Structure 1
């Protein structure tokens, strides 16, 4: 009894130190972002702005329209527009804290740091469950959370938010283990709950986790393993929860795919984001160690953020040693090695759409759900996890070698992993932190616009800003951000180039748009740069000059 109590206290202390250490490391690796929460945006002014809006919308919808979470204020007047991309619904409760664009950016920055912390903690706990001591598990956490591959994914919160995968696996391993303490049904249920939460963050990783769990279950069942009887009810409840939430969310995405067939990624689209094995040698542009050395390889990539797949030299070398000489059971090491190799091959996609069935990913893509995935390279999430665990096994073996100095091998190797995965840069001999640009501020005149809105210019870079600014009240607007743009939106974007003219005004009035907003600071080089000379009288609209914007008000047609 006393021994059990001591063990629980030791476990609680380890978990507390892990949580504090994971957060501290995330803050350090992205310094000085923590000093500018709400004022600066992690990584860049692209997708992070739209994803800050997504989280804010989730919180708004939970209170304002909980039965219509996906009917967001973008792409008016279409329904289910939150499902035009990974929705990050799992972060919706965070959206209940604070209001407006500054709160949205601060919330995003905090979630960004916590995503890295959870990835580190999840991999640490999984390595511990598989037999790694704390120092080796620390290396596994660092290798998974800060692999050089993740540097180019830093602008995609739905991709870096991968910590639920190893955490769910760690809980399931612990819950199903029939050791001296016996199986733990509540831990099993917690594992399935975490897996379900990971699924709600988006299909990009949720689909990978679903098929990983299915594959692991099949392998274990074929090897004769059966869940301990005390966990049957928890297993059934967990599977029902995971499948039920997945099907409920999937129905919304299927509705979108039926309305817009382009939501199903065709072979040509997937091929454009696929590549050759040389992608595994291409590091991200922000890599402190490898950016310059691998620049020639990046020049041949169609999309660097999706195709730079370098997992890290230290991680790969340690993983190879761990697979060969690691102290873990041989079937486990071989299974992790096979998982790393299979997912790495799948991450390459297929180079030729017409010959796709000659590539392994071509066969994977015919399974349910994969037609929604555009970027095969994000399967590197699972590759990196397997490599990180094998690297922990390798570090554990090195630490067990005779000689006092070898005990510190995991610590030294972890430091190398962190340096290799760092986005710091050397500028004139001075070390600078990762890029965290200042958040754009909305012009004051925007608050006077009456929704529904059309904001101009209407390019992707502009629309992301408008979404962030729309967190002040969430006005409905024609603008939106997605890789699946409705055809009518694309047609309207073309027609709006002539605004204000009779054709564009008539179309906007028919849509129900009440205000067209011209952002004067962003008009240079666009068709609206000469807005002062464009006639508008006689079109049945009015024009107002406000702080930073021009408002064209379109009253409804008189009946």
Structure 2
């Protein structure tokens, strides 16, 4: 037979020397990571952060959806050679003037001899840092193309950050951002960098909302306030204003509305809080005074006082009421109002609400003198009835009406039964009222939806939710409270440490009911109403501190100072930029231009020609528009469908959806310009009085706000769809639909991106004539026209010599006068006109004059005109002096 192996002891016997091999088995403590490792971890977390990933995806998607912009970035420009050439010159001029003479910022080299000529259109001041790198037309074209792609990336990233801050999930925010950044109407604006550069608008709103701790889904959360984010938001908003007034001024109106809302909301919120606190203080003072009034004294001569409710886990004294009971308020029972009788109650049943049973009435009459001597009488001030001794649980005085005991014990035994009642509170609330499984009733705790429905039914009947009325139990049945209530009579134990009202409220009900210890909650409980909503944390007891008022306010002092400085900085920069714009020449036909460019309502359903999906299909309706390039304002049919779904199926609340719809209606009305009742009460009062240099004559560009509001509505629908899919997948075992259903959530994103697929032309920019790298100014370059002059401005980025050429709409009247005066050049009249304006040189580009009035100007004799001509390989130079 095999002998069983003796097991070795796991521990050494007492007094034995230490095992020398234990040193090899000791585990050394982990060494904390050093600075380099912590730094690498921080960098890695930043690289894989959600917003870092959003930035990467935004850049990649911008390159793909603007292709072929970066295919030949040194030679081509998106859409046309007009405004892109002029805006490429603007960014180059900003870098040149900052390096040489910043004082001459607004005195550009074009439009000679006009002053403040750099204010003839949106200035793009925010891109000045990019102009510091590189010189010449090729560098200007490359710089413009890079900024063009980055502007699209910022559109996507800014909209994503805003919708995420409002409370949407990543999928909903991605769909909203793509719909905002690549809406079909934006394809018609690809030649205007100032209009494409609108991504700072949603980004600034997101930063301001983050700094104020506000989201549309969760409201204001003071603990999330950060003055630094708010300051960054004001800086980004100011940067957006510096890019141009065509989008900056409407954005300023939106920010002004937000500031006015805060100016009204903060005082109203504080006034309401102050009134609520005064009302609560007044009610508390009244209760304290009522508790100090002399109570009815029974025959034993004992002085009565209102009972109080200790926290869970404390022991009640049968002979005297708690000292804090006078502060908490009197205990009121239906039995006291009718006929005050000595009633024995337990703490667990005192939390359940008023209940009158035949068993209590029968046993209440059998009160003995000995019982009266052993109990402390409880009074109900103001009840209007004669009070007699009654032993009540302290919980009834603070949490609500006192509930009569259903156990059938005599009043003399109540003092000792309360000793152990608090230890069985949890068992009494969860254990059925009877051991019989077939028994049911309100006293029985039911799990799940049945318990919730029963609590709602009790709340509708006038009893606080979470408090259940016990029915009469069959004889012989016992509960945990009945077992705990047994013990020696007359022994009083000291009360244990009390808990806060929030903790006792959770221990009593186990639901989302608010604290029962708060003084403001008592009137609601006495009236039988349920306080619904978030619990207000309120510490009580010795050494507890109340939260500072700043944490409960909408704005703290840091955030208030940040907002004041941010508003002043925003207004100061805007006013400084506006000064040269106010000095620029105005257009006498500004009102007619606003009428002409105001789009009809049907334009919101018409896509531009640059849309690869809808461009060819909308040729006929687009031809009915007065100016299709500025009136094709389709935000996207997929976006329309998602936003319409979001009205009925969304994570946003109904009132939030209503506000979004009202804001959407206002945005559409402003977009229509003078086509909505002449614009007398809408567009014209807001934008009609600004000069032409502010470039606010095209109301259709306000469709940006229409698209943003539609995108927010669409995000609500997508987010609700994702939430329901996740819930449905979680119910499956195993969750097999999850991967496929998650892929289904990307279908709206693909459809939105597909609608933004462009067919934008990318013409090749003309090469710079060699003569412009040698000739000085002031010079007139021929031929001159509204479109070709913008290309001339681009050519001057090598030497920045003064030229009379210049495109755009601000100085259109003066430039047209110049072209009429020099149409017959070279002749005496045109030469004298140029001399009077300080022009000493005329440069004729031979490759550009075909089909223009100056086609033969390079071959005419000039000896009798008093000027000199120089023939160059690609141009002719006329010296007027």
**Distance in 2, Cα, partners of 1:134 & 1:212:** 26
**Cα contact 2:65–2:756 (8 A) shared by 1:** no
Q: 1:200 and 1:90 mapped to 2: Cα distance? A: 6
| Aligned residue in 2 for 1:458 | 784
Aligned partners of 2:599 and 2:51: how far apart in 1?
40
1:41-80 counterparts in 2 under 5 A?
Answer: 41-80=77-116
Greater mean alpha carbon deviation, residues 65-74 or residues 219-228 = 219-228
Alpha-carbon distance in structure 1 between the residues aligned to 2:254 and 2:689: 13
Residues of 1 paired with 2:110 and 2:195: CA distance? Answer: 22
Q: What root-mean-square deviation, in Å, do the aligned CA atoms of Structure 1 and Structure 2 show?
A: 2.2
- State the Cα distance separating 1:409 from its structure 2 match: 3.8
Contact 2:586 2:691 in 1 (8 A): no
Match of 2:225 in 1: 183
Which string of whole-angstrom CA distances, capped at 9 and with x for unpartnered residues, describes residues 255-283 of structure 1?
11xxx231x76321100001211111110
| 2:664–2:710 contact (8 Å) kept in structure 1 | yes
- Report if the CA contact (8 A) 1:172-1:188 is conserved: yes
Look up the match of 1:345: 669
Q: Which stretch of the first structure deviates more once superposed, 191-200 or 70-79?
A: 70-79
Q: Deviations over 1:300-358 (max 9, x none)?
A: 12221211111100011111222332102333333222222211121111149xx6255
The count of corresponding residues between Structure 1 and Structure 2 is 536
Question: 2:159 and 2:744 mapped to 1: Cα distance?
Answer: 19
Unpaired runs of 5+ in structure 1?
425-433
Q: 1:10 to 1:81 in 2, by over 3 A?
A: closer
Q: Does 1:89 align with 2:412?
A: no
Partner of 1:431: none
Cα gap change, 1:321/1:37 in structure 2, threshold over 3 Å: closer, same or farther? Answer: same
Distance, in Å, in 1 between the alignment partners of 2:122 and 2:745 is 37
Q: Does 1:275 align with 2:603?
A: no
Report the Cα offset of residue 64 of structure 1. 1.6
How far apart in 1 are the matches of 2:792 and 2:687? Answer: 34
SS state of the match for residue 297, structure 1? Answer: helix
Contact 2:183 2:636 in 1 (8 A): yes
C-alpha distance in structure 2 between counterparts of 1:85 and 1:539, whole Å: 38
Name the SS for the 2:224 alignment partner. Answer: coil
Deviation at 1:12, TM superposition (A): 6.3
Q: Judging changes above 3 Å, is the alpha-carbon distance between structure 1 residues 96 and 11 closer, same or farther for their aligned structure 2 residues?
A: closer
Give the corresponding residue for 1:323: 647
Q: Give the structure with the higher percent helix.
A: 1
Shift of 1:400: 1.9
Instruction: Using the TM superposition, give the Cα deviation of residue 139 of structure 1 relative to its aligned residue in structure 2, in angstroms.
Output: 1.1
Note if contact 1:399-1:409 (Cα within 8 Å) is conserved in structure 2. no
Q: Is residue 361 from structure 1 mapped to residue 683 from structure 2 by the alignment?
A: yes
- Name the CA distance, whole Å, in 2 between partners of 1:198 and 1:525: 42
Within 2, Cα distance between the matches of 1:80 and 1:254?
10
Higher RCO by CA contacts (8 Å cutoff, separation 6 or greater)? 1
Whether the 8 Å contact between 1:125 and 1:170 is mirrored in structure 2 is: yes
Q: Could you say if the C-alpha distance between residues 216 and 369 of structure 1 is closer, same or farther in structure 2, counting changes exceeding 3 Å?
A: farther
Query: Residues 168 and 194 of structure 1 are in contact (CA less than 8 Å); yes or no, is this contact kept in structure 2?
Result: yes
The 1:503–1:295 alpha-carbon spacing in structure 2 relative to 1, beyond 3 Å, is same
Deviation at 1:287, TM superposition (A): 0.7
Indicate how the Cα distance of structure 1 residues 491 and 10 shifts in structure 2: closer, same or farther if over 3 A, else same: closer
Deviations 1:13-56 (A, max 9, x none): 11221111111100011223223122211222121111100111
Distance 1:457 1:188, change over 3 A: same
User: Residues 234 and 566 of structure 2 are in contact (CA less than 8 Å); yes or no, is this contact kept in structure 1?
Assistant: yes
Measured at CA, do residues 141 and 486 of structure 1 come closer, stay the same or move farther in structure 2, by a change above 3 Å?
closer
Residue 569 of structure 2 corresponds to residue 241 of structure 1: yes
| 1:468-487 equivalence runs, <5 A | 468-485=794-811, 487=813
The corresponding residue for 1:530 is: 856
Partner of 2:710: 387
In the alignment, what sits opposite 2:242?
200
Distance 1:358 1:163 in 2: 30
Q: For residue 878 of structure 2, give the secondary structure of its aligned residue in structure 1.
A: strand
Match of 2:827 in 1: 501
Deviations 1:375-406 (A, max 9, x none): 00000111111111211111111112235344
Which 10-residue stretch deviates more, 184-193 or 326-335?
Answer: 326-335
- Tell me which residue corresponds to 1:115: 151
- Could you list the runs of 5+ residues in structure 2 that have no partner in the other structure? 1-40, 214-219, 270-553, 730-737
How many angstroms apart in 2 are the aligned matches of 1:369 and 1:193? Answer: 26
Task: Please state how far the C-alpha of 1:99 moved relative to its aligned partner.
Answer: 0.6
Contact 1:463–1:479 (Cα < 8 Å) also in 2: yes
* Corresponding position of 2:612: 288
1:333 to 657, 660, 672: 657
With the length of structure 2 as denominator, give the TM-score of the two structures.
0.59
1:189 aligns to what SS in structure 2?
A: helix
SS at the partner of 2:780?
Answer: strand
CA distance in 1, matches of 2:654, 2:625: 37
Q: Is the 8 A contact 1:176 1:228 kept in 2?
A: no
Shift of residue 236, structure 1, vs aligned partner: 1.3
Relative to structure 1, the CA distance from residue 359 to residue 236 in structure 2 (aligned partners, 3 Å threshold; closer, same or farther) is closer
8 Å contact 1:140–1:389 — kept in the other structure?
A: yes
Instruction: Kindly indicate whether the alpha-carbon contact (under 8 Å) linking 2:89 and 2:797 is maintained by their aligned counterparts in 1.
Output: yes
| Larger deviation, residues 487-496 vs 142-151 | 487-496
Distance, in Å, in 2 between the alignment partners of 1:157 and 1:486 is 20
Greater C-alpha radius of gyration: 2
Which stretch of structure 1 is more off in the superposition, 27-36 or 360-369? Answer: 360-369
1:33-88 Cα offsets, whole Å, 9 max, x none, are 22312221122212111110011111111122212211111110111101011111
Which residue is 1:254 aligned to?
A: 582
Aligned pair 1:154/2:154, yes or no? Answer: no
Shift of 1:153: 0.7
Q: Does 1:547 align with 2:869?
A: no
Deviation at 1:488, TM superposition (A): 4.2
